[in-house]
Amino acid sequence: MTIIESVRARQIFDSRGTPTIEAEVRLSSGAIGVASAPSGASTGAHEAHEKRDGGKAYGGKGVLKAIEGIHAEIAPALKGLDARDQRRIDAAMLALDGTANKERLGGNALIAVSLATAYAAANALGIPLYRHLGGLVGGSSPIPMLNVLNGGAHADNNIDIQEFMLVPVGAKTFRDAMKMGVEVYQHLKALLKKQGLSTAVGDEGGFAPSLERDEDALKLLVDAIAAAGYAPGRDVSLAVDAAASEWQKDGGYALPKRGTAMTTGELIDYFQALSEKYPIVSIEDPLGEEDFDGFAEITARLGRRAMIVGDDLFTTNPERLSRGIAKRAANAILVKPNQIGTLSETLDAINLARSAGYRVVLSHRSGETESSAIADIATAVNAEFLKSGAPARAERTAKYNRVLKIEQEVTGE
Ligand code: PGA
Ligand code: ZN
């Protein structure tokens, strides 16, 4: 019933109009599973390789060669295997690829097939993906981390930090958390309008107004939370993603917008000052992706008051995470399944993180599709947080809306 009969793939488009892969796995029962690969912009150096065609079409970003690999090599290798045996499927693809960073067949090909297999098995069994992956253990809703203000390389303003997020820590349910997040987002928009600032949204649905410095963004968010009738820090807290791998320069750091040179110690002082003044509960990639020692230092200094989240630092890679755990670098991991390339390895990274007491944040990419797989994964593994951009743009809300549905199914309310 759950034996793989065929694997097909096609080129579709992500939220930036860039080609990506959609894979479809068909089983002996007739059940099918469909999944696609998202794509990052500020990608970590240690991510699984994204296979692209090169050449003229689509500026070299086509994925037809990766799709050819799925049809010519992956499909025959998986035919006849049981889709319920996710580990065996993923191991077969890893063996077939044969490289450390999935560069031969492409991490984008592998993750699309890996997730499509999981969906196919779930569909054949007549259960939702979060049940197939989480069984009776999974089922608790994450807290959303809503990226509503942007700076860094993604915005034409003077803000160095890439993402400013709302974290509705005071909500009892995901539904209540989204109510808080959405209301603050709308009040933020009104505040920006009143000040004559732009309310155009970026790739992840957040605003990118022309502000002078990082602190202005934090102030605006605190004002928007209060304007919506919530208590900053009690109902809704803040999170930032510095994406500081983009800040590395000449063995140290330089803030990209203002050009200020900083040492690791000065950067940590900077984040400490911000987190003493504003209700910041989470700091992602405050330092560069090779700076394990710096991460250990900031975790020692600020780790009790805030999550220190490794994104580019860990790239959802169990080996890099082990290194981080040994050094006490960070206390939370950002999990992006396409960074590592298979569902099994994603779950390995999550289990390893859990065993070290790290928090888990499931995350989208800046280039997304309408797939809501990360919502099911987050619920299945009881991830504490789900980061999927602003509550705007359908590829962002697809994930939040999916958790709303799952929460209703699980609680029966
Ligand atoms: P990316 O950005 O998907 O472009 O890598 C998101 C992040 O840095 O968290
Ligand atoms: Zn990040």
> Which pLDDT tens digit goes with each residue over 236-258?
999 999 999 989 988 899 998 88
What's the CA-to-centroid distance between 123 and ligand 1, angstroms?
Answer: 30
- Could you list the residue range(s) of the whole structural domain that residue 382 is in? 143-411
Q: Are 378 and 251 found together in one domain?
A: yes
pLDDT band per the 50, 70, 90 thresholds, residue 413: confident
**152 part of a folded domain:** yes
Of 51, 61, 102, 336, the catalytic one is 336
The answer to whether the pTM exceeds 0.95 is: yes
Q: Are 210 and 322 found together in one domain?
A: yes
Q: What is the mean pLDDT of residues 61-73?
A: 98
- What CA–CA distance (Å, rounded) separates 356 from 354? 5
Q: Is the pLDDT of residue 154 over 80?
A: no
Q: Are 247 and 357 found together in one domain?
A: yes
Determine the length of the chain: 413
Q: Is any ligand 1 atom within 6 A of the Cβ of residue 345?
A: no
Q: What is the pLDDT of residue 249?
A: 87
| Ligand that lies nearest to the alpha carbon of residue 387, given by its number in the listed order | 1
Q: Are 164 and 301 found together in one domain?
A: yes
Q: Are 34 and 121 found together in one domain?
A: yes
Which amino acid belongs to residue 405? K
Q: What is the mean pLDDT of residues 375-388?
A: 98
Q: Are 177 and 324 found together in one domain?
A: yes
Q: Is the pLDDT of residue 405 over 90?
A: yes
Q: What is the pLDDT of residue 152?
A: 87
Domain-terminating residue out of 64, 91, 126: 126
Which amino acid belongs to residue 215? E
Q: Is any ligand 1 atom within 6 A of the Cβ of residue 42?
A: yes
What is the crossing angle of helices 264-277 and 292-302, to 10°? 30
Which atom of ligand 1 has the smallest separation from the CA of 365?
3
pLDDT band per the 50, 70, 90 thresholds, residue 225: very high
Instruction: Specify the range with the lowest mean pLDDT, choosing from 81-85, 87-91, 127-131, 248-252.
Output: 248-252
Q: Is any ligand 1 atom within 6 A of the Cβ of residue 311?
A: yes
Q: Are 388 and 279 found together in one domain?
A: yes
Q: Are 85 and 149 found together in one domain?
A: no
Number of domains in the chain: 2
What's the CA-to-centroid distance between 413 and ligand 1, angstroms?
Answer: 34
Q: What is the pLDDT of residue 156?
A: 81
**322 part of a folded domain:** yes
* Active site (annotated) includes residue 172: no
Q: Are 170 and 291 found together in one domain?
A: yes
pLDDT band per the 50, 70, 90 thresholds, residue 93: very high
CATH value at residue 240: 3.20.20.120
Q: Is the pLDDT of residue 293 over 80?
A: yes
pLDDT band per the 50, 70, 90 thresholds, residue 108: very high
Q: Is any ligand 1 atom within 6 A of the Cβ of residue 43?
A: yes
* Active site (annotated) includes residue 51: no
Q: Are 148 and 122 found together in one domain?
A: no
